[in-house]
Amino acid sequence: MNGSEGGAPGGGAGQDSDRGPVPAPPKHPLSTQPIRLTDSGGPGSGESKSKARSKRRRSRRRAGRLPDRAVVLVGPMAAGKTSLGRKVAKDLGIPFVDTDAVFVREHGAITDFFAEKGEPEFRRIEAEIIAAELARPGSRIVALGGGAVLAEATRELLRGHPVVLLMTTQAAVLRTANLSRRPLLRDDPDAWGRILEVRRPLYDEVADVTFRTDRGSKEQLARRVAGWMRGQGRRQRTAGDEPNTSTAASRGMDTDTE
């Protein structure tokens, strides 16, 4: 009994020696837990990227609620089309274009162009710039010069876009405008009222809604304009994206702000 019990261990030892040495277990066993890869940007960079993705998603959601074409700002000189338009566009995360700025970039100062080539040539080029900007797809805000509505071709194009009329008063313009940059108003303060009297019927013809920029703060006006734009986007989707449908339903709406 003892002999056979003793022989078994001996035989096992011999077999182990025939196979060679058995490797020792590792001092630090491999972990079976999943490994979390760290961002190469260092601590907090993953969180920053997550916030950036969330911001992009919010911007896409905001853009998705807006009209899929340019919303156009019209109105008299110094009514705030550029400053308010730029703020609304920034708040909504969409592009902003000032067609007067495009003209200046391509052809030089407007006053110099008037003096050298006359108003008819200026209006012709202005209408071409506006047509090119309105043809671009996607949500955006386009601010027109005060006299852009004089061109019949431009007024016809505006029928296919949501149009916001920004109105103010001569007293407010003379109180707030930088007259050094507006020699017409500096030299003839009453010119603003005379020009508006001629153009007001054309503004009313193309406008879907009117906001008074001499009432309320820029922040308040920006929220109201942005809210109106979202409403236009909803109407457009409800109408099946048919041109002119959403704008025709609200054309002429007046939303004077207190």
Annotated binding site: 78-83, 100, 123, 146, 182, 199
Measured in whole angstroms, how far is the alpha carbon of residue 15 from the centre of its chain? Answer: 80
Q: How far apart are CA 179 and CA 31, in angstroms?
A: 75
With tokens 């099946």, the residue in question is 240
- Find residue 253's DSSP bridge partners: 209
Identify whether the C-beta of residue 209 lies closer than 8 Å to the C-beta of residue 255.
Answer: yes
What is the dihedral sign for C-alpha 12, 17, 19, 25? positive
Q: Indicate the annotated binding residues for ATP.
A: 78-83, 182
Q: Indicate the annotated binding residues for substrate.
A: 100, 123, 146, 199
Going along the chain, which residue ranges are E strands? Answer: 70-74, 96-98, 140-143, 163-167, 209-212, 253-254
Q: How far apart are CA 246 and CA 191, in angstroms?
A: 35
Torsion of CA 44, 47, 48, 51, to 10 degrees: -160
Q: Which of 177, 222, 219, 182 is nearest to 85 (CA)?
A: 222
Q: Indicate the annotated binding residues for Mg(2+).
A: 82
